[in-house]
Amino acid sequence: MNELNISAKITVYSYDELSEVEKNLITAARLSSAEAYAPYSHFWVGAAVLLANGEVLTGNNQENAAAPSGLCAERVTLFGTHARFPDVPVQMMALAAQTRGAFTGSPITPCGACRQVILESEMRFGKPIRLLMYGRDAVYVADTVQTLLPLHFGQESLNG
Ligand code: THU
């Protein structure tokens, strides 16, 4: 019998320690969260991506009375981004979420399905996406989404 010991490196920053580029991307995510359509959960999530060509695009969660038809902020943002800029890699993605009138104290971390979609975006261009997960008390930073998705299933897995 063997064990696989999997470690994940997340860097924990205070907001003030971040670079201007990072702070600006978080600001874009925070602003976008205010435009979310979240009448059911009242959990308003914003995402912002910085592309290799300097473009910043944002998105937010879009809910639906038929619940599974809604979509998280991360996927709204990434699918929309790749639809507009199919050849441009994403360099960085910031997330922020608010509920009951305040941004979350703990960093917002993406759901499993969104981790899978962010991973595909990384794999598609062969470039890691730096993920900034904002909370009032701390900002978690991962250098690649692979950190959040150990033993992932990717395109290469289809080769057997
Ligand atoms: N949500 C996101 O948009 N991103 C996340 O990372 C977590 C959850 C949305 C989905 C749903 O609209 C609401 O937040 C509550 O789960």
Q: Which residues in 1-33 are b (16+ Cβ under 10 Å) and which e?
A: eeeeeeeeeeeebeeeebeeebbebbebbbebb
Look at ligand 1, atom 5, and give the residue with the nearest C-alpha: 110
pLDDT digits (tens, 9 = 90+) for 35-47: 999 999 999 999 9
Atom 6 in ligand 1: residue holding the nearest Cα:
110
pLDDT digits (tens, 9 = 90+) for 112-133: 999 999 999 999 999 999 999 9
Average pLDDT over residues 129-143: 98
Tens digit of each residue's pLDDT (9 = 90 or more) over 45-66: 999 999 999 999 999 999 999 9
Amino acid at 112: G
pLDDT the model gives residue 15:
98
- Model confidence over 1-26: pLDDT tens digits? 999 999 999 999 999 999 999 999 99
Q: Which atom number of ligand 1 is nearest to the Cα of residue 63?
A: 12
* pLDDT digits 0-9 by tens, 66-125: 999 999 999 999 999 999 999 999 999 999 999 999 999 999 999 999 999 999 999 999
Ligand 1, residues at Cβ distance < 6 Å: 38, 41, 43, 45, 61, 63, 70, 72-74, 108, 110-111, 114
